[in-house]
Structure formats: structure tokens, C-alpha cells
Structure 1
Amino acid sequence: MGLFSHNDSNGHNLSGFWQLSHRFWLSGTPRVTGLIALLITVVLAQLAVQFYLNLWNRHFFDALERRDGAELWTQTFVFLALACTSICLAATSVWARMTGQRNWRESMTRSILAKWSLKSHDEPMNCHDHGAENPEYRLAEDVRVATDAPVDLILAFLSSVLTALTFFSVLWSVGGSIAVSPFGFRLEIPGYLVLGVIGYSTLMTALMLWFGRRMTSISEQRNQNEAEFRAAAEVLRGCHPATEAVEAGWMDKLERRLQAVLRSWRDLCWQLVDMTLVSHGNFLFAPVVAYFLCFPKYLSGAMSLGEVTQSAAAFVTVQGAVNWLVDNYQRLADWRSSANRVAALLAAIDRMPDDNSASVEAAEPLPR
């Protein structure tokens, strides 16, 4: 199963999950609309601060290279102003994100409870349905993950796209072109830092996609095994087996479920080891690659120390933005797994017989 496929490994369709999500985010209520506007405004403001911090790098290190004490003090106060602004924006972003996540979770939970309340409870939910094991856990934990992660991921993606577009221009203008002479032929490469960051980021993304290709299925299987183990353990809560043979059967089933849980955790461990090889290697190499690309022009006198630090900082910023998938692959996989299980719970509820005594016109809750 691919990370971005429409169905999960068990054939469940995510349309039910998306319908409940659209009902909240596209409701048009002033609170939700205002929250969306605030989140986007904070992203844009943070990008502006990041741009001026990058420019500050150039001015500060140029002043350091000139040994200009007055300019260094000026840049110190500029940094303090930018830092205070960035701190305030970060705090505002946390409040807005968590408010959106809390309200979305409330809306989805109330909608699922409303659907469930209209069904007959004379017989238990079919526990052979994937996602129907411990439905209260699906309602609590998986709904939480499925509504927490998308807000953070979408805002991070928006910020990454805008950051990449903004700092591409910085790399192009500050880095300029470089002349190389392969095999005796003089070749001038325009915007070589832009080409460098694109090539490096493409390599890192390809490596993460390769090393992390099994992450989604492993994460989903782990959650499935955990749910099956909890469901098997439910029989021990206040229920004494009729015979020793029945008790032995229960314990054997629990042992098999436990071994499945441990196997899934072992698989997850090795998958994370593989992904860490890429992510930590990228963390170490990205700034060094940036400096090595700038060294030829600095040594030739075509770049000042301030321009080197500005270009290197812009390179790392763009590389981090372009490698959004590398940084968020595990969380995307965890979200996909939880969203699949919420969709499976909705499908299991839909297959339950209707409660004829329930009101046919029961209204579903709107987001508050």
C-alpha cells in the first residue's frame, strides 16, 4: 500500500473520513474561517521573519569581517527584535494549531457518536471487521491522531513551499553563477547553488522513499496487532472461563496476539533504523555541502564572508523545505494508519443494523 493511495491495505475507503473532515473545515462558520485565516497569516509572518534573519546573517558577518563594532551592535538589536517577533509568532501558531485540532476532533467524535447512536445495539459490532476491535479505542486514540497530524503537516507543507520559492531567489541572486573547466572547456553554470540544492534534496527524498517504503504498512500492522491484543485481553476482565480447556484456549490466543505485537514492534524498530540512516545523515551533511559549494567563490574573492553564511543558511533552509517528505514521512505513515482505522470504524458502524426506535431525523452536530 502506498502512502498516498486512496484505499488502505484492507480495502477500506477514506471517503467517510474526508466527508466528516470537510463538514468541519468547510462549514463556513466564523470561528473556523477565522482560525484558517490566522493560521495562514502566521505562516506568512514567520516566512517574513525567516527571510530577514537570513539577510541579518549577511550583514552581521560582513560587519564581523570588517571589524565594524558599531554595525555589530546595530545588528545585535536587529536580531533581538526579529527573535522576539519570531517567539511571539511561534506561540501564536501553537495556540491556533491546537485550537483547530481540538475543535476538529470534537466535531468528528460527535459525528461518529451520532451515527453510532442510530444503530441497533442488540448485538455487538462484528469484531471480524478490521477497525471494529475495541471501537472505543478507535474513537479515542485514532481519531486524535487522525485530526492532530493533518493540521501540523499541511501547515508545514505550506510553509515549506513558500520557503523554497522565497529562498530559491536568495540562492540565485547571492550565489550567482560559477565557472568550471571540465576537460579544458570553460563552462559557466548560472544559479549553481539552486541546482545544487535541487540535486541534493532530490537525492535525499529518493533515499527516504526507498528506505521508508514499508513504513505505512508496518505502522498499520502494528496498530492492528495492538488492537487485536487488547480485544483478546477483554475476555479476562470480569469474566471467568467455564472450563480449564476454555481458559487454556484464551491464554493461547493471548500469547499469539502478544507475539504478533512484539513482531510488529521489531519490524518498526528496523524500519526506523533504516530511515534514521537517511534523516540523520542529511542533518549532518546538508550544512557542509552548502559550505563546500560556496568555498570556490569565497576563496576567489567573489563572495564575502557574509554572503557565504547567507548562502549556506539559505541552502539549508531550502533543503529543509524541499525535504518536507523526508522530515515528515513517519508522521504521514502514522496518520495514514489512524485515518484508515477511523474509516474502518465508520464502515463497521454503517454495516450495523439500524435502530428502528431511533429518530430518523437525528441531526448531526455542527462544529462549535
Structure 2
Amino acid sequence: MKQFNKEVFKDAWHLIKPYWVSSEKKTAYILLAAIIFLNLAIVFINVLFNLWYKEFYNALQELNEKAFWVALGQFSALAFFYIISAVYSLYLNQMLQIKWRKWLTDEFLNKWMDKKIYYHLQVFNHQTDNPDQRISEDLNMFISQSLSLSLGLLSSVVTLFSFISILWIVSGPLHLSVFGFLITIPGYMVWAALIYAIFGTWITAVIGRPLIPLNFNQQRFEADFRFNLVRIRENSESVALYSGEEKEHGHLMRKFADIFENYWKIMVRQKKLTWFTSGYNQIAIIFPILVAAPRFFAKKIQLGGLMQIAQAFGQVQTSLSYIVNSYTALANWHAVADRLRTFEHNIQSIKALQSTNNNIKYKPSDYLLSVKNLSIMLPDNKTYLIKNLSFELKPTQSLLIVGPSGIGKSTLVRTIAGLWPFGDGEIELPQKEKTLFLPQKPYLPIGTLRDILIYPNGDPSVDNEVLKELLISLNLKYLSKHLLDVNMWSQVLSLGEQQYIAFGRIFLQKPDWIFMDEATSALDEKSERLLYMRLFKELPQSACLSV
């Protein structure tokens, strides 16, 4: 894992830049300009507060009641504009975040789902853990932290230049006698703040550096644990039938042990870091007063001047200590950026795999499926599953492929579908809108039964009565009452019922080309025979390939 270096910020810029040159850039720049303006306004108000400190505390010292009330009136006005600026700065910041997140989420979803990459990442690349977490959570954290840290840096720089001149003037010169020589240090409080911040930044970086890989691993362990919880929920019936609760509980606790152990390391490291940063910030409160106190007691400055020095020193020191105060957030941002860039690199590696294994030529066809000299290999590109296979399938024709397990029957269907890139040959394939692939375990998206039946290419305007009659004809009459119920139907329905639903899609959507991979494996022979008889009766012009 990279530490903070040029490569890290180059990778981060690669993630940030696309949004700011996209079609939404105009709105983004307007929002950003407004946020920057409000942040600068807050800095300006803080400068006015610094000047107010002098007037207010001088009024207290001189027991000047009139000046006291005038100062309170000035404070009320400054506080009013400060609150407005703070509220709208946060509001517009959140508006920019959600717009940016929406755009970047869409961008990552396009990359992930383009050319079946989501499938190939799962099958051929095991370095990308939990892409769902990276898209849903890491993108959100990256955007919010990028904005927060960059605006914080801008605010620190502007605050530094706004207060450094004030501190230089109000702190005055420091006269020291060293071995009989008189040394004068102009604006000595500025130099003190600079040295103090450099020292603090260096120590913080040394103590906090291990947080970067620890935060990276914490995100991964949390996602792994959540994924395993979801797995149990999705396979609850199977776990219950096996009475596997004890095994699953032990497995989950072993996953959580990784979270616990890594989080403990983060706690220990953050404790060390907090020991230093807390002490560093507490000393910074009293340090300027201690240094300026001799001039105050010598009556060279008033109480207002002393408080102005302390407040100006605090602003300068805080600005110079940006890394000290933001190191934990920077470490989190670094870890999130690393996860997203790793995700992108792995997507690129799948694209490279697809481009180097593109010897199977796909051609569009309107009237037949043609397979010519097709050889299918394992990912090692050495071991053949199928060699020099050729056949044609025309409308009205059916083809049944049989054979023992492991000879490549399902892989043939995957290859025809464009999922398996390893091999060579030529496939002429009808347009995907005219085809329907039925895997052994049907995919039932979360939603209503209506949504499931018209997935993926059905007519969204189909009448509900048609769908109810379809369910009844499939011996699923009881489901007709639940057509519009939203549920996780893949857990409610048995595998046989799910395969009935898959055939319902065929009868509803009437594809011209049907590819089935053991699509009736959970049905009895009679039900299987009746479904095929109905298929050939209702779709006599369709071609069917079945494994």
C-alpha cells in the first residue's frame, strides 16, 4: 500500500477529475464557488472577531460600560452573519456531495456492468472484495472527505495569510541577549507558531502513518463480515435444513474477530496519536499567553492586546497544523482512495483479459444461430473443454445437449451468451432483444412478481389480469393474489417454483431464441414434459437450445 506520495494524489485526481469536466460541470463549479465564497466569508468574519477581541477586553479592563455594550452589538452582528455563512456552507456542500455522488455512482456502475465485467470480476479476479461496498460506501466517503479536506486546506491557507500579518504586528519584536549580543526577532510569535507546527506535523506523521493500511483493512473486514451476514439471509432455508446455525455462528465470529483485532490496532494507534495531538493543542492555548505575558505585565500591551495575540496565534497555529488536526481524516481518505483505485485497476485488468482473449468472433444474425469451429478452453488457455464444435440452429428447431457433468455443457451456453472469453471460433447470434437465457437457478430481482415476470425484456404495460392468468396456468394460483407484493421472492419460492416463473417469462415475452441450462432440474418429469409441450405449442416459430 502506498503512503502519501505523488502517486497517491495522482490516483486521487484520476477519480476526482471526470466529474469536473462532465456535463454537470457548470452546476458543480457554481456550487463550489458559492461554498468557497462562504468559507472565505467565515475567515473574514474571524478576522473581524480578532479585532473585536481587542476592543471588548480593553473595554472590560477600562470599565467602560458604553464601549462594552457597543462591542456586544458588534458581536451580535458578526455572529448573525457567521451563522448564516456556516449554515449555507454546510447546505451547499451537502448538495454538491449528493450530486457528485450520483454522477460518480452512475459512472462506476457503467464501468462495473459494461461488457459483463461484474461477472468476470467475480469469476476470474479474486482481488476485488465486495464491489457493492466500494460503490455504495467508499464512493460516498471519498467524495465527502475530498470536499471536506480540500475546503479545510483552502480555509487554513486563507486563514494563515489573513492572520499572519496581524500576529506579526501585535506580537512585536523579541529582544534577546546572547553572550552579550542583543538579538532582535521581529514578529517572534509567527516564528514560534511556525516551529511549533513543523514539529507537531512531523511527530503526527510518524505516529499516524500505520493508520493508513489499518483503515484500508478495516473497510475490507467490515465489508466481508456484512457479505457473510447477507449470505446467511439469502440462504436461510438451506442453513436451517442443515441445522448449520452453530457452524455459521462460529464462521461469523471468526470474520468478526478480524474486525475486532484490526479495530483494536486502530484504537491503540489513535490513542497514541490523540495523546500527542491533545497535548499539542492544549499547550497551544496557553503558549502565546505565556510568551506575551511579560509585555502585558510590563504594561506595554493591554488585556485586549493580549487576548488578540492569543487568538491570532491560535488561528495561525491551527492553520499551520492542518495535517496534525486532520491526520485521522487524511488516513481514512487515503484508504478509501486506495480501495477505489484498486477497484478501477481490477476493472482495467478484466478489460485487458477480455481484449487478449477475444479470439471467439461474434457476428449478428437475424435468422439462425451458427457455431463454427468453436473451441472452448479453461482460463489457462491450454486445457480444452470443447474442440472444433460446429452446428446451426434455425427457427422452429430444437437442440438438446446431453452428457456427463464437467464436459463443458454449461460453459457452451455461457460462451454463446458471451460470458466465457477463452477459446476461438465463430458464433453468429441473434440480437439479445430476441433471445432469452434461462440458467439453472433463475434470477429474481427484489420487487413485485409483476416486475419479475417482465424481467428483462417484457412489456411494462402488460395488464395485471394477463399476468394472473399466466401464474394460474403455471400451477402458481396462490401467487396471483400477491402479484403486486414487494418481497425477496428468491427466498420465498422454492427452486421448482422459481423455474416455473422462468418459463412464465418465456410464455409472456415470447423470445425467438431460447437457451436453457438445466432450466427444469428441480421439476418432476411430468411437469417438465408439460412445460416443453406448452413451449413448442405456444412458440412454434422459436428456436430452443437446452442443456
State the TM-score bracket (shorter-chain normalisation): 0.7 to 0.9
Give yes or no for the alignment of 1:186 onto 2:165: no
What TM-score do the two structures reach when normalised by structure 2?
Answer: 0.60
Q: Call closer, same or farther: CA 1:122–1:58 in 2, change over 3 Å.
A: closer
Report the secondary structure of 1:119's partner residue. helix
Report the secondary structure of 2:300's partner residue. coil
Deviation at 1:104, TM superposition (A): 0.9
Deviation at 1:5, TM superposition (A): 3.2
Report the secondary structure of 2:83's partner residue. helix
Give yes or no for the alignment of 1:143 onto 2:139: yes
Give yes or no for the alignment of 1:171 onto 2:141: no
Q: Kindly provide the amino acid, as one letter, of the partner of residue 327 in structure 1.
A: N
Report the secondary structure of 2:301's partner residue. coil
Which residue does 1:81 correspond to in 2? 77
Which residue does 1:364 correspond to in 2? none
Which residue does 1:287 correspond to in 2? 285
Deviation at 1:234, TM superposition (A): 4.6
Deviation at 1:49, TM superposition (A): 0.5
Give yes or no for the alignment of 1:324 onto 2:304: no
Query: What 5-or-longer segments of structure 1 have no aligned partner?
Result: 360-368
Q: Call closer, same or farther: CA 1:321–1:351 in 2, change over 3 Å.
A: same
Selected match of 1:23 from 18, 23, 32: 18
Q: How does 1:282-321 map to 2 (within 5 A)?
A: 282-321=280-319
Q: Kindly provide the amino acid, as one letter, of the partner of residue 205 in structure 2.
A: L
Contact (CA 8 Å) 1:219, 1:334: kept in 2 or not?
yes
Contact (CA 8 Å) 2:121, 2:347: kept in 1 or not?
no
Deviation at 1:128, TM superposition (A): 5.4
Contact (CA 8 Å) 1:119, 1:349: kept in 2 or not?
no
Deviation at 1:2, TM superposition (A): 5.0
Deviations along 1:3-30, whole A, 9 cap, x unmatched?
A: 423567xxxx974x64452121233743
Deviation at 1:253, TM superposition (A): 5.2
Q: Call closer, same or farther: CA 1:115–1:72 in 2, change over 3 Å.
A: same
Q: Distance in 1 between matches of 2:340 and 2:175?
A: 56
Which residue does 2:440 correspond to in 1? none
Which residue does 1:36 correspond to in 2? 32
Q: Return 78-87 or 41-50, whichever deviates more.
A: 41-50
Which residue does 1:90 correspond to in 2? 86
Which residue does 1:195 correspond to in 2? 191
Q: How does 1:1-368 map to 2 (within 5 A)?
A: 1=1, 3-5=3-5, 15=11, 18-27=13-22, 29-120=25-116, 125-126=122-123, 129-130=126-127, 132-239=128-235, 240=238, 254-352=252-350
Q: Distance in 1 between matches of 2:31 and 2:48?
A: 26
What is the identity percentage for the equivalent residue pairs of Structure 1 and Structure 2? 26
Contact (CA 8 Å) 1:14, 1:340: kept in 2 or not?
no
Q: Kindly provide the amino acid, as one letter, of the partner of residue 342 in structure 2.
A: A
Deviations along 1:131-170, whole A, 9 cap, x unmatched?
A: x222212111111101111101111100101111111101
Contact (CA 8 Å) 1:126, 1:348: kept in 2 or not?
no
Q: Kindly provide the amino acid, as one letter, of the partner of residue 207 in structure 2.
A: F
Q: Distance in 2 between matches of 1:242 and 1:63?
A: 77
Deviation at 1:358, TM superposition (A): 8.6
Deviation at 1:289, TM superposition (A): 0.3
Deviation at 1:72, TM superposition (A): 1.1
Contact (CA 8 Å) 2:225, 2:252: kept in 1 or not?
yes
Report the secondary structure of 2:175's partner residue. strand
Deviations along 1:60-115, whole A, 9 cap, x unmatched?
A: 11122221111111111011100101000001100111111111111110011112
What TM-score do the two structures reach when normalised by structure 1?
Answer: 0.87
Deviation at 1:235, TM superposition (A): 4.0
Deviation at 1:351, TM superposition (A): 3.8
Q: Distance in 2 between matches of 1:106 and 1:6?
A: 28
Contact (CA 8 Å) 1:218, 1:264: kept in 2 or not?
yes
Q: Kindly provide the amino acid, as one letter, of the partner of residue 20 in structure 2.
A: W
Query: What 5-or-longer segments of structure 2 have no aligned partner?
Result: 355-416, 419-430, 434-547
Q: Distance in 2 between matches of 1:70 and 1:24?
A: 55
Q: Kindly provide the amino acid, as one letter, of the partner of residue 271 in structure 1.
A: R
Q: Call closer, same or farther: CA 1:123–1:241 in 2, change over 3 Å.
A: farther
Q: Call closer, same or farther: CA 1:91–1:251 in 2, change over 3 Å.
A: closer
Report the secondary structure of 1:156's partner residue. helix
Q: Return 76-85 or 333-342, whichever deviates more.
A: 333-342
Contact (CA 8 Å) 1:218, 1:267: kept in 2 or not?
yes
Contact (CA 8 Å) 1:174, 1:311: kept in 2 or not?
yes
Deviation at 1:303, TM superposition (A): 1.4
Q: Distance in 1 between matches of 2:95 and 2:342?
A: 26
Which residue does 1:362 correspond to in 2? none
Q: Distance in 1 between matches of 2:126 and 2:334?
A: 18
Contact (CA 8 Å) 1:138, 1:341: kept in 2 or not?
yes
Q: Kindly provide the amino acid, as one letter, of the partner of residue 23 in structure 1.
A: P
Deviation at 1:283, TM superposition (A): 2.5
Greater fraction strand: 2
